[in-house]
Amino acid sequence: MTKFDFIKDYFSNAEPKVGIVLGSGLNNLLDSIDIEKTLSYSDIPGFPQSTVPGHEGSFVLGKSGNVQILAAKGRFHFYEGYDLETVLSIMKSFYAVGIKEVIITNAAGLMDRKHKPGDILLIKNCIDMTNQASVLKAGTAVIGESERNLAFKAAEVSNVKLGEGIYVWTTGPSYETPSEIEYFTSLGGDLVGMSTMPEIMWAREHKMNVYPFSCATNWASGIANQPLTHEEVNETAQHVRKDLTRYILTLCKLIGD
Ligand code: HPA
């Protein structure tokens, strides 16, 4: 039995409509749903394990209104030393349980000066600075027209300001230099981060509808005159978390309608 068969069996009585990948600091979304069942990554034979103590990952099945959701708490990045196969484990799990709608969230550095840290942006396209995504089939639009329309409708309904931008994917683990950020900006990038692009590409290749969002947590390297204080960053994150949770739950409802 593969790890994905195991997950499929475990949730065999469920029919989650939406899969959600929770980015850094966004686990509080789970406080707002009725949790039905959880599955720790460590209880799945052969599933990758989080290397960070106290941050062990899990799948959480729950309901928001009439919509059944499967959320993944904890994800895998290249900068942790994982290969592409491992990085894609969560998408493959969603696929195994029959999920067709995927919401992906992340924290990202902001390059687009039309926005500000604290803003939420829909990822409309990606630039691969890792030379890793080339193993995935290219040529697909990152986000479909109807998903984009629904994303902006959810913003209106939940009264959350939603921007959109192009996400530049780097492997990390280090943040960028100011010159790299200037270069990414000249290529048309608006956001920079170390996740999400491979998940988007794989999901699109497998005919899933994808709703990818960045929470702009900071100005990218070299843009701000002076670094934000820790308190300011925390305050911003706290504010965005509340908005993003309300937004995501509204989007789930619209997807379910
Ligand atoms: N760069 C890369 N990844 C990030 C950043 C950043 O500035 N902020 C959050 N994730």
Which pLDDT score, from 0 to 100, does residue 171 have?
A: 87
Residue of the CA atom closest to atom 9 of ligand 1: 108
SS3 111: coil
Which pLDDT score, from 0 to 100, does residue 40 have?
A: 95
User: Is the CB of 250 within 6 Å of ligand 1?
Assistant: no
Tens digit of pLDDT for each residue in 125-166? 999 898 776 545 556 668 889 999 999 999 999 999 999 999
Facing residues of 103 across strands?
A: 20, 211
CB under 8 Å to 200, separation ≥6 — which residues? 104, 123, 126, 142, 210, 212
The confidence band for 16, taking pLDDT boundaries of 50, 70 and 90, is very high
Q: Which residue would you say has higher pLDDT here, 183 or 50?
A: 183
User: Is the CB of 189 within 6 Å of ligand 1?
Assistant: no
Which pLDDT score, from 0 to 100, does residue 181 have?
A: 95
CB-side exposure of 61: number of CA atoms within 13 Å?
A: 19
CA pair distance 257, 255, nearest whole angstrom: 6
User: Is the CB of 218 within 6 Å of ligand 1?
Assistant: yes
Tens digit of pLDDT for each residue in 22-44? 877 677 888 889 999 999 999 99
Q: What percent of the chain has pLDDT over 90?
A: 63
Atom of ligand 1 nearest to the CA of 170: 2
Residue from 105, 218, 236, 240 whose mutation best tests the ligand 1 pocket (most atoms within 8 A of CB): 218
Predicted structure pTM score: 0.93
Q: Is the pLDDT reported for residue 59 higher than 80? A: yes
CATH T-level assignment (fold) for domain 3-256 = Rossmann fold (3.40.50)
Q: Is the pLDDT reported for residue 233 higher than 70? A: no
Q: Is the pLDDT reported for residue 51 higher than 80? A: no
Domain spans, the chain: 3-256
Q: Which residue would you say has higher pLDDT here, 205 or 56?
A: 205
Which pLDDT score, from 0 to 100, does residue 50 have?
A: 72
| Residue 149: C-alpha distances to residues 18, 22, 66, 134, 168 (Å) | 17, 22, 21, 28, 23
| Cα-to-centroid distance, 184 and ligand 1 (Å) | 13
CB-based contact 58:30 (threshold 8 Å)? no
CB under 8 Å to 73, separation ≥6 — which residues? 22, 27, 30, 57, 58, 59, 60
Which pLDDT score, from 0 to 100, does residue 49 have?
A: 86
| Cα-to-centroid distance, 142 and ligand 1 (Å) | 20
Residue 178 CB coordination number (10 Å): 11
Atom of ligand 1 nearest to the CA of 194: 3
The confidence band for 173, taking pLDDT boundaries of 50, 70 and 90, is confident
Calculate the CA dihedral of residues 206, 91, 137, 135 and round it to 10 degrees.
Answer: -150
Buried residues in 61-82 as b, exposed as e (16+ CB within 10 A): bbbbeebbbbbbbbbbbbebeb
User: Is the CB of 197 within 6 Å of ligand 1?
Assistant: no
Q: Which residue would you say has higher pLDDT here, 240 or 95?
A: 95
